[in-house]
Chain A
């Protein structure tokens, strides 16, 4: 086996660690993206019985974004099994309780319910902020592109940038500034 082929063999079967910044991302669209990396479905050698999934480290999961008023419309159901044990939790209440759970459940529910699912979930590491243990951080060799750009707030621009941005309208001359 030549040196090149040997390295190719390693590279093919090595588990790669990916980084994903969840700030301002929809967790449900992100789940569809992340599950491919977790299951290894982005690899040409993929097969359901081939254990070729990668690790994904998700940071800033507390800053995920939902469209419109979905934070108060989406409901998570749980039943303890006892009579009257049903409970309904709104997405924002669940997120307040644990800022990683909405994304974790989204990834879990995006995958088929088979025996591999629990093992695939083990390769997902979610952190509510950017504080990742350095032993995990040192493994990372790829970053997954965000689905939507993180919007920049108006107070994050400098005074000069705001002033020198091209203006669509000028205020009329009889306008009183308030």
Chain B
């Protein structure tokens, strides 16, 4: 019985291995998906693009730790030029498998992103249905607010 299971597992591994080696798309490239609508047809096309970050990438002097910890920066919620590197165009935080941060930094950065969004400091990185301008928000939310980074609770 045991041997049969082992064989099946080996077979699966082989299949997986085979699947990995065959790919329909060119793998390991940054992709951009565009949708264009003309008359009755919707054209969805994928483009391989460059992130444009390579020439400005900070060198990580300690490759075993995550880029944020290695940089040694005390990032505040007003540092929108740093925080905007970790969000999508709709302003939502990128997952940890994409950012490659450690658990602590990911948690801290996502809290800082939320603070910056609440302060209205990244109005161009918002969902499509957003009013963009923080002054058009409802009730008390339209007034300026700031946050204290020491209130972020991380173990």
Contact = CB atoms under 8 A, between A and B. Distances in A.
Given A157-B81, A163-B52, A171-B98, A151 B147 contact: no
Contacts of A175: 30-31, 51, 98
Contacts of B24: none
Interface string A139-178: 0000000001101111101000111111111111111111
Contacts of B68: 168
Contact of A153 (B58, B90, B120): B120
Interface string B94-113: 00011111000000000000
A67 B59 CA distance: 35
A24 B146 contact: yes
B105 to A, nearest CB: 10
A95 B124 contact: no
A95 to B, nearest CB: 6
A71 interface: yes
Given A65-B146, A71-B145, A167 B57 contact: yes
Interface of B: 27-33, 49, 51-54, 56-58, 67-68, 71, 78, 80-82, 84-86, 88-90, 97-101, 119-125, 139-140, 143-148, 151
What are the 10 tightest A-B residue pairs by CB atom distance, in nearest-first order?
Answer: A65-B144, A92-B140, A151-B78, A71-B140, A154-B80, A173-B28, A72-B140, A167-B53, A177-B32, A155-B124
Interface of A: 23-24, 26, 63-72, 90-92, 95, 148-149, 151-155, 157, 161-178
Given A169-B101, A173-B30, 4 more contacts: A65-B144, A90-B140, A153-B123, A169-B85
16 contacts: A66-B145, A67-B145, A68-B147, A91-B140, A148-B146, A151-B78, A151-B121, A153-B123, A154-B121, A154-B123, A163-B56, A165-B56, A168-B71, A170-B57, A174-B31, A177-B89
